[in-house]
Structure 1
Amino acid sequence: MNTNDQRPYLDDSREESVDVKQLLFKFLRYWYFFAITVFVALIVAFLFNKYTKPVYEVSSTVLIQDTKKGGMADVQSLLGVGFGNSQQNLQNEIGVLNSNSLVVKAVKSMNQKVSYFSEDNFITSELYKTSPITVIPDTTHPQPANIKFYISIKNTKQFEIRADGENAKLYDFSLEEFYTQNDQEVIVDRIDLNKSYSFGETIETKFLKFKVLLNFNYNSDKHLNQKIFFQFNDLPGQVAAFKNYKIEPINREASILEIKLKGNSVEKSVDFLNTLTNEYLARGLNKKNMIAIKTIEFIDRELIGIRDSLTLAEVQLENFRRDNQIMQLDVEAQQVFEYMKDLDKQKAELLMKGKYYKYLKTYIEERNDIDDLVVPSSMGVEDPLLTQLLADLTHLHEEKSALLLTSTRKNPAIGQIESKIKNAKANLVENIKNIVNTSNIAIRDIEERIVTQTAKISSLPSSQRELLSFERKFDLNNNLYTFLLQRRAEAQITKASNLPDNEIVDEAISEGKMPVYPKKSLNYLIALLLGLILPAIYIYLKDYLNDKIMDRSDVERATHYPLVGVIMHNNRDSKLVVAESPKSSIAGSFRSVRTNLLYMAKGNEKQTILVTSDMVAAGKTFISTNLATIYALNGRRTLLIGFDLRKPKIFQEFGLSNTEGASSYLIGKSQLNKIIHKTFVENLDILLAGPVPPIRLS
């Protein structure tokens, strides 16, 4: 067909769009592919959910007071000062809760030297508090840690034990550390045990010693064929296993911490969290109690000497009164006694404080902490400067402890704080010396006044003088003894009334806990989506990367030219279908093409139609012969020209000779009227290609 349209056949710059409707129809054609992938994905999700160990999350919340509590904070409260801010305190308490020492205490309190497990369908489950057996290790004998000992219960009296482990470390439960010889950890190359025993019988080899007992919860229907094993736990391994909990405030403004722990056993995780928080509260309470205990111990040491002196003074006074028949002082002696009694009391208090200053100076110089320091207020010392210096030292120790929770002593900040602590101690010792000097001056002044009063006593009768001396001695020791007893009682009341400064808001519970992993519903949803998405992506990419024409839409998307028709594939032996089977669907498709071409010609009766392709055996001969025939059958005079000079085939379809044709005409060997042949189809003539030329025509 003649045309002046010079647009390219293919337009690579043409914007492509996805035909959703067509894409859906393509997906529907592969419905079985989607069904298979969805089925396989759901099966995989089912197996994953079934054979994956469930992970549960439990949590506990702890209320932290706004000011730091505990050992050093109680020193601060007794000193009458406070430091820091609530946010710093909160971070310090998080450090305490995360500390290795607290986890070690919690693990020890749980007393989980042995763990029990069951195996069923490739799933290993811990039998926490539900094991039908109890293993009692001999703590004086090393045990192989983390080696599986399989138990097969035969009946209520006997069982079979089997162990087959290599490179087993021996653990010493009495020392709570790995067993060593010559400072080297003992590693056993192989633990081999396969024997029957009675319940309660001692199982002993060179590397192990323990007993196995049958619990009351044993059920023959449930446990007789159950695959059970146990293993001995080492303390470092248990600490590492539990130390995956997370601590964070419930919000930025609150001072409530939430502790979350994930584990395969709900009950075990709950017990650990509750034990951890209880140990945390006990730690703070113990620090508070330690202050009161040290105060009581200090007072008790002083009471021992004063009690003896008081007893002696009382005996001497009673003996003098009995021997001299004098029961009380006269008026003049009583006046002197009352005045000197007050002086003696002042002197005794100063001397008692002097003993405390000596104790405090020794404590500061020799100790590296102030956790169990007897605070000044407990001994009636209320010096503002001393109190402030002790408060400064307490604050520095608090900063150091907080840093050590999250770093090592190699941290430069630790060195800076230790330097400040050293200076603070020096200032405190210097202040104590000044207080002692001031106190000594006051004592000398009191002694001078006592000497003055003693001169007045010389004018009294000898019996009154001696009675006054005994009364003074007894009253001095009695007052001092009473003062110390009062302070001791106050310390005991403080100790008895101590409560943890922080509190547990919500304990961890096991009821109603659902696994956080695997998320079964989510896994099924993901499997369903993958089962739909993966084949869809495959089909889309396969279609997108396919450079073959599969249907008319591919042609319509690839070119601007109109599509005149679609010819069905010919499965018949005959190639000239439109002539031999005019009522066939293929003939109908050629008639449709003819109609469209005539319509596109817009009344132009003379049409030239070129049939070509870029590859061999594409169907040029089939299309051209049938298209020419369908035109001729419509009563239109048609000339079919065969220009396939390399592999001419048209002559075969019409049973003609190819001795002359276009090739011989082009080289001048044939006349035009000689190479045009009539066919058995009315109105159809053929100009054959002719003999194949010896060289390629250009």
Structure 2
Amino acid sequence: MDKAKNINNQNQTIDIFALLGKMVRRWYFFAISLAITISIALIYVMFAEQKYEVGSTIYLKSKDSGSEETTDLLNNSPKDGPSGIALTNEIGKLSSYSLIKSALERLDFGITYYNVESFWPGFMREDWLNETYSSFPYEIKIDSSQLQLVNVPIFIEAISETEYKVTAKNDEVNAVAFADNGGRKVFDYDFEGVGEFGKPFASDIINITVDKKGGNESPDLDYAFKVTRLEDLAMQYQGKLNIQPFDEMDAENRMLKLSIKSSIDGKGMQFLNSVIDVYAAEGLSKKNNRGSNSVEFLDKEIARVTDSLKQAELALETFKASSGILNMDAAIGTSVEGLNALQNNKAEAEQKIEYYKSTLAYLESNDDYNKIIAPSSAGINEDPLFNKLIENYINLVTRLNNAGFNAQPNNPLYIRIKQEVENTRSAIREQLKSALASQQRNLVSINQRIGNIRYSMNQLPQDERKLQILQRRQEKFAQEQDFLVQKRANAELSLATNTDNVEVIDAPKKTGYRPVEPNPTLAFSIAFVIGLIIPFSLVLIKDLSNNNITDKDELEKQVKVPLLGMIANGPKEAKLVARTLPNSAIAESFKFARINLQYFHQENNEQVIGVTSSISGEGKTFCSANLSTAFAESGKRTLLIGGDLRKPRIQDFFDLSGPGLSDYLSGSVSIDDIVQPTEFRKLDVIAPGIPQEDPINLFESARMEELIRCLRDRYDYVIIETPPIGYVADYFVMLKHFDISLFVVRYNYTNKNILGGINDLYAKNKIKNLYLLFNDVKFSAEYGYGYLSNSDGYYTQQSKKRLTGKPNKTKNPFS
């Protein structure tokens, strides 16, 4: 029992070396697959559109404008370095849909020109288009007021000096009228038309004018062009543009590498130049707008203060003229100074209150960040954190507006920025409300203190007191005017010195002389890997899905019964190979099996050999007949008995007539009546006789024992073919008569699962002298056989090994 379990456990082990052996034997699959994949890779490398890499390096300046008062460009990212630049945000701006679309608006990229080798079939031409420009022999103009086919190649072929043919085909196409952005879809579009050079060509969705250029049309090339909408073009170039930090490990790095793969290196350079120019222009425009808004705000404040100053000066002069009082009395000097200080504080508080109210009103009423002025720009020296909060809000709104061009309302980035804007606005609103309330309380306090001083000054002469008030008011407005004028001068200086934020380190250029696509090394490497994977997978799948025995090593792994020999594969019509194929591998196989069997069992009393199999069709009758002839030709008196009384097949191999085994066992004839000679001198045959549905009773009869005893005396070897053990019990009934049992296993026919029963019988020693005969084997170099000649037979090159199992002293040429 333990032996059987051990055998089953070993059978379940995956044999990697056996699998590799099967791969090696099917080397031609790999050769064919590699030839195909490498050929495809070669075609791809030779004819695929070549693309070159165009690159540029830019440096982002750390200053947002020419003024030192506004130094930071951005302060949104937690990774901002001392420069105040968040490279991830700048990369996002440079690669945004809106910026790329603006860059393409400056370029004439709406029509793309192609050529393709003429030998490609029509259905493959579009897959092998190569973009061109200078070598395109035609000039194409489209009628933007009419519907125009877009995103589909339109082929142009000159059919004469004055006419050309237009063809276009696609399952689904779009037509667009560029003048009003109208359009429609067309399904199963297949168009062919003829036009004249230099004259408008009009159809339902192709409206063009084709002019000849100076160059000549090549007969080896077909020519095509494709019209692309600006929106589609922007999306295409957005996917092509690659932007990376120059040094990702340097936190203070402010350099970016821009690159794009382009079939026409000149177009790639134009595109990168346009992107850089638009990015720089937009940055400068935003800074100029901020500066202009600051100057506009300060102009309004100066006009308001100037008007107040004029009124104060007029009131002072009028009072002096009417009262004749020019100087204040020294006694009230201290009170006047205190009152002046309080008046200044009051003016400052009122200015702050006005700023808070106006800013709060802007926040409550609209999102126009251009109208919001930082406290420092308005002359209010507020808490630096509040100044930072205002600047962050302006930057966030800027990012939101930029993102809005290229994002849907449900875009996560757009939603996140919008939420940050709302959070910052709420924070500013709460800060403003708190500061406004604080300043209002401060103003109440100042007014109370002013009232106290005025009350004390009521004791002074009323004219002198009025003079002091008028002088103080005039001085306050004069100081405020000077302050605002200085601020405006600084703002104008900042506006005048604003520069763009980009410095081009390396102008756009081709980064190498060789194309980056197609990459021959990569293409052939992938082809090689795929060329190995495909046959490997097919062989592996076939092997895993095939549960039949297809290999000697696999058989020895599945079944621990000694292998007597392997019978070579032969023609289906071959019956007795000693007669029809005497010098063939299959005939030699039976000779080897006979020699091995004689060598294993040299005792004279081991004469009766039973031959069976697991199921029908594995070749037990074939092996029985040919093994019998092998013994007979070696000079041994041999008798073959057709013991399969249920489905007899022996008559297919020999010319038999008369009674047979079933007739003898039933008692109707004698032994001499059933033994029939054959064409082979020392081979006799007992035919099965009349077929029996249930011959077990006959096999168990005394006449069967008498027959075997008698035959042992007459013949050197008695070979009995029996029914398959997988169907009926006939074999086990006759087993007591057998000295040797041969179990036939057929190559790529016998199921592995069926062999488990043989393992159990062998492990439990229920069958003595049991051997395997591996039938219908397709010999290869693995087994060490080769032709001597077409007629001389075979020879073996493989060294003989000891048989596993019983006996273990014999060398087996098939092991």
TM-score when normalising by structure 1: 0.64
CA 1:438–1:282: 2 relative to 1, 3 Å: farther
- Work out whether residues 103 and 243 of structure 1, in 8 Å CA contact, stay in contact via their aligned partners in 2: yes
Report 1 or 2 for greater relative contact order, CA contacts < 8 Å, sequence distance ≥ 6: 1
Which of 92, 96, 102 is matched with 1:98 structurally? 92
Cα gap change, 1:59 to 1:440, in 2 (>3 Å):
farther
1:625 shift after superposition: 3.3
- What per-residue deviation string (whole Å, max 9, x for no partner) do you get for residues 215-251 of structure 1? xxx651479997353636345x344334435667664
Report the count of equivalent residues.
634
Structure 2: distance between partners of 1:677 and 1:163:
84
* Residue number in structure 2 paired with 1:668: 667
> For the Cα contact (< 8 Å) 2:38–2:527, is it kept in 1?
yes
Q: CA RMSD in A?
A: 6.6
Q: Distance in 1 between matches of 2:558 and 2:192?
A: 75
**1:44 corresponds to 2:40:** yes
Listed as ranges, the matches of 1:442-481 within 5 Å are none
Which segments of 5 or more consecutive residues in structure 2 lack a partner in the other structure?
117-124, 314-325, 404-412, 697-815
Please give the secondary structure, in 2, of the residue aligned with 1:610. strand
- Measure how far apart 1:594 and its partner are: 3.6
In the alignment, which of 251, 270, 283 is matched to residue 254 of structure 1? 251
Aligned to 2:686: 688
Aligned residue runs from structure 1 range 548-697, under 5 A: 555-566=555-566, 575=576, 577=578, 590-613=590-613, 614-615=615-616, 618-620=621-623, 622-630=625-633, 633=635, 638-645=638-645, 647=648, 649=650, 653=654, 658-672=657-671, 684=682, 686=684, 688-689=686-687, 691-692=689-690, 696-697=694-695
Q: Note the alpha carbon deviations across 1:255-292, whole angstroms, 9 max, x for none.
A: 55857665545554554455445544444444444443
Structure 1 stretch displaced more, 353-362 or 203-212: 203-212
Pair 1:350–1:210, CA change in 2 (3 A):
farther
Distance 2:673 2:205 in 1: 113
Comparing 408-417 and 527-536, the one that deviates more: 408-417
CA distance in 2, matches of 1:435, 1:570: 115
For 1:23-172, list aligned pairs within 5 A.
32-49=28-45, 52-53=48-49, 85-86=78-79, 94-95=88-89, 97-98=91-92, 103-111=97-105, 112=107, 115-121=110-116, 122=125, 123-126=128-131, 146=150, 168-172=175-179
Does structure 2 conserve the Cα–Cα contact (< 8 Å) formed by 1:628 and 1:640?
Answer: no
- 1:426 pairs, out of 423, 428, 433, with 433
Q: Encode CA deviations 1:614-664: one digit per residue, 9 max, x unaligned.
A: 536641453253144145x1xx555554535464757985x7x85455333
- What's the offset of the Cα at 1:491? 2.5
Match of 1:240 among 227, 235, 242: 235
Cα deviation for residue 357 of structure 1 reads: 6.4
Over residues 115-134 of structure 1, what are the superposed CA-to-partner deviations in whole Å (9 max), with x where a residue is unaligned?
Answer: 22223223445557997888
Q: CA contact under 8 A between 2:54 and 2:269: conserved in structure 1? A: yes
Distance in 2 of aligned mates of 1:256 and 1:508: 20
For residues 75 and 669 of structure 1, the distance between their equivalents in structure 2, rounded to whole angstroms, comes to: 125
Say if 2:200 and 2:208, in contact at 8 Å, map to a contact too.
Answer: yes
C-alpha distance in structure 2 between counterparts of 1:19 and 1:232, whole Å = 55
Deviation at residue 511 of structure 1 after TM alignment: 2.7
CA distance in 2, matches of 1:651, 1:158: 82
CA contact (8 A) 2:111 2:228 kept: no
Whether contact under 8 Å (2:661, 2:687) holds in the other structure is yes
Aligned to 1:292: 291
- d(CA) in 1 for partners of 2:491, 2:652: 127
| Alpha-carbon distance, 1:697 to partner | 2.3
- Which stretch shifts more, 641-650 or 477-486? 477-486
Q: Is the 8 A contact 2:75 2:86 kept in 1?
A: no
State the 1:600 CA deviation.
1.2
In structure 1, give the amino acid aligned to 2:215.
S
Q: TM-score, normalised by structure 2?
A: 0.57
Between the aligned partners of 2:691 and 2:370, the Cα distance in structure 1 is: 114
The one-letter amino acid paired with 2:102 is: K
Q: Which runs of 5+ in 1 are unaligned?
A: 173-177, 180-184, 315-330, 459-464, 466-470
Question: For 1:117, what is the secondary structure of its paired residue?
Answer: strand
More off after superposition, 425-434 vs 439-448: 439-448
Task: Find the residue that maps to 2:611 and give its secondary structure.
Answer: coil
2: CA distance, partners of 1:584 / 1:125: 60
Distance 2:216 2:454 in 1: 91
CA distance in 1, matches of 2:87, 2:360: 26
Shift of 1:685: 7.3
- Is residue 528 of structure 1 aligned with residue 522 of structure 2? no
Over residues 156-198 of structure 1, what are the superposed CA-to-partner deviations in whole Å (9 max), with x where a residue is unaligned? x9997979898633334xxxxx45xxxxx57699999975575
* Bigger shift: residues 615-624 or 69-78: 69-78
The counterpart of 1:366, out of the listed 349, 362, 368, is 362
Aligned mates of 1:221, 1:651 — CA distance in 2: 79
Give 1:581 shift. Answer: 10
Say whether the 8 Å CA contact 1:347–1:446 is kept in structure 2.
no
What SS is found at the alignment partner of 1:611? strand
Q: For 1:479-519, what per-residue CA distance to the aligned partner results, in whole angstroms no more than 9, with x for missing partners?
A: 88766554443323333444556766766543328666554
Separation (CA, whole Å) in 1 of partners of 2:569 and 2:200: 88
1:368-387 deviation per Cα after TM superposition (whole angstroms, max 9, x unaligned)? 46545454445654355xx6
For the residues of structure 2 that align with 1:27 and 1:612, how far apart are their CA atoms?
32
Mark the CA change 1:253 to 1:192 in structure 2 (over 3 Å): closer, same or farther.
same
What amino acid does structure 1 have at the position aligned with 2:626?
I
| 2:223 is the counterpart of 1:227 | yes
Alignment partners' CA distance in 2, 1:138 and 1:690? 94
> Superposition pairs for residues 246-395 of structure 1, below 5 Å?
251=248, 254=251, 256=253, 264-265=262-263, 267-300=266-299, 358=354, 361-366=357-362, 368=366, 370-371=369-370, 373-378=372-377, 380-382=379-381, 384=383, 389-395=386-392
The answer to whether the 8 A contact 1:62-1:504 is kept is: yes
- Residue 461 (structure 1) aligns with: none
Amino acid at match of 1:98: G
Equivalent in the alignment of 1:182? none
- CA 1:562–1:281 in structure 2 vs 1: closer, same or farther (change >3 Å)? same
1:281 touches 1:500 (CA, 8 Å); kept in 2? yes
Identical columns (%): 21
Letter in 2 for 1:365: A
For residues 586 and 152 of structure 2, the distance between their equivalents in structure 1, rounded to whole angstroms, comes to 77
